[in-house]
Amino acid sequence: MSTANPRPLSDILNAMSSKAIEDVAMVTKAYDFSKEAHKDQKRYSGDNYFIHPAEVGYYLADAGMDPRAIAAGLLHDTIEDAGVKAQTIRELFGT
């Protein structure tokens, strides 16, 4: 069984081109929401499932994408794999 850990939020925030308070807040909210939504999920390897969305968020930040795209990357599996309703995402993060 692997012991890999999800990429820390600080890595994603440091990679973001925008450090505006509202942008940092949006990405932080998406990171925390996704982490909680996936908290009981494991990959076949035994790793935490959240490793994947955290890596996606990091790669999007590192590529210079805007905070909405980074948040979408962090949230992209919450509906399909964690049972979160699309309406919940819209209410918390907008359209």
Residue range 75-87, pLDDT digits in tens: 999 999 899 999 9
The model carries a pTM of: 0.93
Residue range 17-66, pLDDT digits in tens: 999 999 999 999 999 999 999 999 998 888 999 999 999 999 999 999 99
Quote the pLDDT of residue 64: 98
Closest CA to 31 of 43, 44, 15, 47: 15
48 phi, psi to nearest 5 deg: -60, 135
